[in-house]
Amino acid sequence: MNYKYEIAKKINKITNVDTENITDYVEVPPNPEMGDFAFPCFKLAKDLKKAPPVIANEIKDKIVLDDIISKVEVVGGYINFFINKKSFVKSVLDEALGKGEEYGKSDLGKGKTIVIDYSSPNIAKPFHIGHLRTTVIGGSLYKIYKYLGYNVVGINHLGDWGMGVSKTIAGYEMWKNEYSFDENPINSILAIYVRFNKLEKEDSTIIEKARNVLIRLEKGEEEATRIWKWIIDISLENYKKVYDLLGSEFDSYNGEAFYNDKMDRVIKELEEKELLKDSEGAKVVEMPDNMPPCIIITSAGTTIYATRDLAALLYRIDNYNFSKALYVVGSEQALHFKQVFKTLELMGYEKYAKVCEHIPFGLILDENGEKIGSRKGGQLLTLEEILNESIEKSLEIIEEKNPTLENKEEVAKMVGVGAIIFNDLSNNRIKDEIFNWKELLNFNGETGPYLQYTYVRTRSILRNSNEVLENIDYDMLLDSEAIEVIRKLSEYPDIIKNAANKNEPSLISRHLIDLAQCFSRFYNEHHIMCDNIETKKARIALTKAVGDTIKSGLGLLGIKTPERM
C-alpha cells in the first residue's frame, strides 16, 4: 500500500488540491513519536490563502479515521498521521516477501532512455585511482535506473585522441627497442609518455614529432593507425581487469576518435545559425549571463573538447532519442558542461539541452586531507593496486576470524571490492571522499563489510530455521523494534526513486545502514528462534525481508553479497 498516496487522497477530498502534488510533499518524521507520516501545510498556504496552522486544523477536523489511519495530530503547521500498525506491517511485509530481492523494482521508466557517460579514462595510462569515483557513481546510477525500468545506455567515452596519445606514439617510434612490452605493456607505454613530456621541457622542438603523428592519424596513415589501435587494445585490456572487479557495465566504448568525422556537422550548423563568432583568431559561441564563450575551434585551427562533446550529443540524440543524458564527471568541469549544454540549446535542441545534466563529485583524499594520486617516489597509484590491496587485507581478516571458511578468496574479493565501493558511495557525492583503510574495512562501522555481515547473519538464521513462511501472523511484529525495522523497509522503494531523482546513490547507502542498525536492535532485543512457533515464523519472515532488501540495495551500489563470511 502506498501510504503517502492514501494520505494525499484524504487531503485532496478536503482541499481539492491535486493528489499527485500532495503525495510529493508527504514526509516521514525523524522521530516515530511524531507520527508515521506528516504533511507540511505551508505547501497549501498560497493556494488556500490561509495560515498553515489554520489549514492543518481544518483538515484534521475533517479526516475520517479508518483501517489505514488510526490517529491524526496537529503540530504547528504540520498534520501528523499515525497509521494502523497491523495493516501497515501486513502491507509492507506482504510486498517485501512477495518480491524478495526485487523489492522496490518498478517500471517507472518504461519507454524512456537514459544515457550515462561515465568512467572515460585516457588511453595509454593505467587506470588511475582518480577515475574511481566517476566509475563507481556512474555504475550505480546505471543499475538504479535499470531497476526502475528505464532503458539505460552506459557510455565509456574514452580519451583516445589528441596530443596525449600522439606524444605516446611518437615516443614509441623513437624508443620502442628500449622497453619490454611482454609482461606489463601498459606500464612501458606510460613510461614512454612520461619520458616524452620530460624531454619536451628540455627540447621544445620535440613536440613537432607529436604534431606530425597527429597529422598522420588524421590522414589515416597505416603505421600510425596500427600503433594507435594497439595502444587502445592494451589500455582496454588493463581497464577491463578493473571493470571486472568493480562489476562495471558499458554498452558503448565510443571515445573521442569516434567523433572525428562528426564534428563538421556541429560547425556547419553553428555557422548556418550564425552562432559562430571570431574571437582572437578562434571561433566561439557567445554565452549569456557573463559566462565565458564556448570555444569551438582554437586559434590554431583545431577542434576542442566542446566540439567533440557537441558532436557526441547530436549522435546520441539521433541514435538514442534520450529522455535524460547524464555526465558523471568531476566538479571542476562544471563550466565546460554549462557551455556545451547552452550551445546545444542555442543550436535549436532545447528539448534535449534541458534534460542534459552534469553529475559532479568531489576528490579522493587520505585521512590527512591530502589528494591521493601517487605512491612515494611519484609513481602513479593505480586503482587495480588499491582494489587488490583491499582484497588482501580482507583475506587477512577472514584468515584471522574464520579460517575454515570455504571459498575464502572469493569472499575476500566481494568484501574488499565492496568496501572500496561503499566507502565511495556512503556520503553525498559532491563531498570529498576520505580514504582510510582502518575505517572502510571495519566490520562494526558504517561500512560495506558491516552490511555484508548483516546480510550473512540473516541468511544464517534462514538456513537454521527451515521454516515455510506461509500464513504468517503479523500481530507478532507489533513491538517497537519490529515496527522500526518495517518502517525502514517501507521507505526502501521511495529511497530508490529519490536516488534516481537526485542522481545520488548515497541515499541508498545511508538507508541500508539505517535498516541494518534497526535490525541489529531488533535482533538484540528479541530472540528470533524462540519457542512460540507463530512468533518465530513472523520474526524469521522479517529477517528474510531485511536480508533481501540489503542484498537488493547493495546490488544497486554494485556490491556483491557473500552467503557466508
Q: Please tell me the predicted confidence (pLDDT) of residue 376.
A: 43
Q: Please tell me the predicted confidence (pLDDT) of residue 129.
A: 86
CB 142 within 8 A of CB 249: yes
Q: Residue 526 and residue 500: Cα distance in Å, rounded?
A: 35
Q: Which of 227-231, 374-378, 533-537 has the lowest mean pLDDT?
A: 374-378
Orientation of helix 448-465 relative to helix 506-525, angle to 10°: 50
C-alpha cell at 192: 614512454
Give all domains of the chain, ordered by start, each with its CATH number: 3-83 (3.30.1360.70), 163-246 (no CATH)
Q: Please tell me the predicted confidence (pLDDT) of residue 380.
A: 62
- The catalytic site residues sit at 125, 128, 131
Q: What is the pLDDT of residues 131-175, one digit of tens each?
A: 999 999 999 999 999 999 999 999 999 999 989 999 999 999 999
C-alpha cell at 271: 555557422
CB 363 within 8 A of CB 371: yes
Q: Please tell me the predicted confidence (pLDDT) of residue 373.
A: 59
Residue 482's pLDDT band, with cuts at 50, 70 and 90, is: very high
CB 108 within 8 A of CB 2: no
Q: What is the pLDDT of residues 511-554, one digit of tens each?
A: 999 999 999 999 999 999 999 999 999 999 999 999 999 999 99
Q: Please tell me the predicted confidence (pLDDT) of residue 28.
A: 87
Q: Assess whether pLDDT exceeds 50 at residue 377.
A: no
R_g (Cα) of the chain, nearest Å: 28
Q: Assess whether pLDDT exceeds 70 at residue 101.
A: yes
Orientation of helix 185-202 relative to helix 222-246, angle to 10°: 120
Q: Please tell me the predicted confidence (pLDDT) of residue 375.
A: 47
Q: Please tell me the predicted confidence (pLDDT) of residue 468.
A: 74
Spacing of C-alpha 66 from chain mean position = 40
C-alpha cell at 422: 561503499
Q: Please tell me the predicted confidence (pLDDT) of residue 32.
A: 82
Q: Residue 268 and residue 508: Cα distance in Å, rounded?
A: 45
The mean per-residue pLDDT over the stretch 250-260 comes to 95
Phi, psi torsion values for 341, nearest 5 degrees: -65, -35
| Residue whose C-alpha is closest to residue 116's, from 336, 323, 383, 345 | 323
Q: Please tell me the predicted confidence (pLDDT) of residue 303.
A: 85
The mean per-residue pLDDT over the stretch 337-343 comes to 98
Q: What is the pLDDT of residues 398-450, one digit of tens each?
A: 999 999 999 999 999 999 999 999 999 999 999 988 888 888 899 888 999 99
Share of the chain above pLDDT 90, in %: 82
Q: Please tell me the predicted confidence (pLDDT) of residue 470.
A: 84
Q: Please tell me the predicted confidence (pLDDT) of residue 446.
A: 94
Orientation of helix 222-246 relative to helix 383-401, angle to 10°: 30
Q: Residue 277 and residue 127: Cα distance in Å, rounded?
A: 39
Q: Please tell me the predicted confidence (pLDDT) of residue 132.
A: 94
